[in-house]
Amino acid sequence: MTAKDSMTIRRPDDWHVHLRDGALLAGVAPHTARQFARAIVMPNLSPPMTDSAGVAAYRNRIMAALPTGSDFTPLMTLYLTDRTDPDEVARGHAAGVFVAAKLYPAHATTGSAHGVTDIAKIMPVLARMEAIGMPLLIHGEVTDNHVDIFDREAVFIERTLIPLVKALPGLRIVFEHITTTEAVQFVESAGANLAATITPQHLHINRNAMLVGGIRPHAYCLPVAKREHHRLALRKVATSGSAQFFLGTDSAPHDKRLKEAACGCAGIFNAPFALESYLAVFEQEGALDKFEGFASEHGPRFYRLPLNEGTVTLERSGVTVPDEIDVCDAIVVPFHAGETLGWRLRV
């Protein structure tokens, strides 16, 4: 095979994934473990992972759900609430139970009902995280009913992130699954303590994918896809080589009946073909040489973790994404269902 027909990169990681629990966990975890060496596992279970013991037990369930022989490493996170104790956070982090904590504004998204109602309530926790260098992962949307859903990320930057960065300039923050030009500009201007993850869907689709020609629940996730100019800004920065931006799929499976409903839930299941999906974007942007940094280097450097040893190879042989995927407890419609992507991960 010539170099043009395949691409070999250092093993990548997924810096934002929902592995779920129970039977669904057993069905979805192998998809992430097949593609990635490590992943930041989100804590928005029911009930949420709000203490060290719960996180440690969840980690054991993930390990038990992996295929025999898998060397996948889950990187765990703590779910912040109004009542989170700074000492518990510091202890669990020092003990290696979790590498980061996740801030969900209460009621912003799936599984966020126990989230933080007012960031002022957790300032002692955030100050402690700043002191110990522990990353804060943020779902950056306001939940104010008066704010249009397409503006919620931009308003969150103004109301919450700018004051937070000013109050705690040493706090290391990952602005998760960014979707707007405003977020790109904010992260770039904030400097090296700020980083952002970018999902495959926000690089591929704008809001038309959800709404044109019929309402398409499988293109619905939170934060929702925005206008085309936002998508173009995300593609530009993801493929720019900037170390502040890295891969985070936000793969979030829901049974198709729960999405194809009068009130369908938010989340796109992209784990099975995540690398193929991202690589299509880098190829379209003429930036194949920037893919390894985005997928395998910028994330671990921000988290101050070693880069993975070993490599993965993608071949230009094409892969057709199935219409549906059976994940034990559920039938899930994956991102790119029915489409053919130009590259395939060699396994």
- Catalytic machinery residues: 250
Query: d(Cα 63, Cα 326) in Å, to the nearest integer?
Result: 20
Which residues make Cβ contacts (< 8 Å) with residue 67, sequence separation at least 6? 30, 33
Cβ distance 178 to 187 under 8 Å?
Answer: yes
Give me the 209-248 binding string for Zn ion, x by CB under 5 A, dash otherwise: ----------------------------------------
- Residues 122-181 contacting ligand NCD, CB under 6 A: 139
CB of 175 to Zn ion, least distance (A): 12
Cβ distance 182 to 153 under 8 Å?
Answer: yes
Give me the 28-67 binding string for ligand NCD, x by CB under 6 A, dash otherwise: ----------------x-----------------------
Q: Among 221, 81, 98, 87, which residue's Cα sits nearest to residue 149?
A: 221
- Dig out the tokens for 219 from the structure: 């293109």
**Residue 109, contacted partner among ligand NCD, Zn ion, none, CB below 5-8 A by kind:** ligand NCD
* Three-state DSSP state, 268: strand
Query: d(Cα 20, Cα 46) in Å, to the nearest integer?
Result: 9
Of 77-85, 106-114, 276-284, 329-337, which part binds ligand NCD (CB under 6 A)? 106-114
CB of 150 to ligand NCD, least distance (A): 15
Instruction: Tell me how many degrees the CA angle 301-267-57 measures, rounded to the nearest 5.
Output: 65
**Under rule CB under 5 A, residue 250 binds Zn ion:** yes
CB of 18 to Zn ion, least distance (A): 6
Out of 173, 222, 271, 327, the only residue in the binding site for ligand NCD (CB under 6 A) is: 222
Cβ distance 49 to 78 under 8 Å?
Answer: yes
CB of 44 to Zn ion, least distance (A): 7
Applying CB under 6 A, the residues found at the interface with ligand NCD are: 18, 44, 109-111, 139, 221-222, 250, 252, 266-267
